[in-house]
């Protein structure tokens, strides 16, 4: 009985999901064109020297200012998709990262959440999400590990990939073209005056 219950919990508990064609090709192009024109991309870093772990260029930006409809659409979709009893999704500390991977660039296996981090934002990240903005490249696959199995997310321009931040994941080596994506994370916060029950 206990084993059946655990298996049931595993099935209903959110781990990862793909929402295909979440953004239109036009929305994707607008985000890419804006980001390449307005932002200054810099070499991505993970702590100190990370040349063996990650090769890509990134820039953080508050897309709420110039793309409020897209951000609202995204937050609403996440709220509709992920339900955690007694908690609500918290986007207050969400920072959007525009990422560029050129040929030969990658991000090896890593987690977005680290309970031992001195940075509270990283420590408390609950969920990560990635929007694929282009598909004119080969390689550059987003993969994660779930119960020792490698899960490959289905490529597609405008696809929204959502997964728990404590799951190991990677972006494989880009073989041709350039991969652009929008990456971010959110936390959870308790619902005030939430009435707890056993049901």
Q: Domains of the chain (ranges plus CATH)?
A: 14-46+53-190 (2.60.120.620)
What span, in angstroms and rounded, lies between the C-alpha atoms of 29 and 84? 33
Judged against a pLDDT cut of 60, whether residue 149 lies above it is answered with yes
46 pLDDT tier (thresholds 50, 70, 90): confident
Number of Cβ within 10 Å of residue 194's Cβ equals 11
% of the chain at pLDDT higher than 90: 72
Give the helix ranges, DSSP H, for the chain. 2-12, 25-38, 68-81, 120-124
Judged against a pLDDT cut of 50, whether residue 6 lies above it is answered with no
Tokens found for residue 94: 């969400």
Judged against a pLDDT cut of 50, whether residue 9 lies above it is answered with no
Nearest to 183 by CA among 89, 109, 74, 105: 74
Judged against a pLDDT cut of 80, whether residue 17 lies above it is answered with yes
Tokens found for residue 63: 């897309």
Tokens found for residue 144: 């994660």
Which range is least confidently modeled, 6-10, 54-58, 145-149?
Answer: 6-10
Higher pLDDT, 36 or 9: 36
Residue partners of 143: CB distance under 8 A and separation at least 6: 150, 151, 152, 153, 169, 170, 171, 172
State the DSSP code for 199. -
Q: Report phi then psi at 39, rounded to 5.
A: -100, 155
Residue 108 host element (H or E)? strand 106-110
- Does this model's pTM top 0.75? yes
Q: Among all chains, which residue has been given the structure tokens 């239109």?
A: 24
Tokens found for residue 80: 């509709």
Q: Report phi then psi at 74, rounded to 5.
A: -65, -50
Which range is least confidently modeled, 25-39, 149-163, 185-199?
Answer: 185-199
43 pLDDT tier (thresholds 50, 70, 90): very high
Q: Report phi then psi at 85, rounded to 5.
A: -60, 125
Tokens found for residue 128: 């990560």
So what's the pLDDT on residue 140?
A: 97
**Residue 139 burial (CB < 10 Å; 0-12/13-18/19+)?**
middle
Q: What is the mean pLDDT of residues 163-177?
A: 96
Higher pLDDT, 199 or 54: 54
Q: Among all chains, which residue has been given the structure tokens 């619902």?
A: 191
So what's the pLDDT on residue 52?
A: 85
């Amino acid at each position: 009985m206990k084993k059946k219950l655990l298996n049931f919990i595993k099935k209903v508990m959110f781990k990862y999901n793909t929402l295909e064609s979440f953004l239109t090709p036009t929305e994707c192009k607008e985000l890419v064109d804006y980001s390449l024109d307005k932002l200054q991309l810099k070499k991505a870093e993970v702590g100190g020297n990370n040349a063996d772990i990650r090769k890509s260029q990134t820039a953080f930006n508050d897309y709420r200012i110039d793309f409020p409809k897209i951000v609202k659409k995204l937050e609403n979709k996440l709220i509709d998709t992920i339900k955690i009893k007694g908690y609500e999704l918290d986007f207050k500390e969400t920072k959007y990262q525009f990422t560029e991977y050129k040929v030969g660039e990658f991000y090896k296996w890593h987690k977005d959440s680290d309970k031992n981090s001195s940075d509270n934002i990283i420590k408390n990240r609950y969920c990560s999400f990635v929007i694929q903005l282009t598909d004119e490249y080969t390689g550059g696959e987003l993969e994660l590990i779930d119960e020792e199995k490698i899960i490959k997310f289905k490529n597609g321009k405008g696809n929204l990939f959502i997964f728990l931040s404590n799951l190991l994941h990677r972006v494989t080596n880009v073989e041709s073209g350039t991969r652009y994506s929008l990456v971010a994370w959110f936390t959870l916060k308790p619902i005030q005056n939430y009435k707890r029950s056993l049901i």
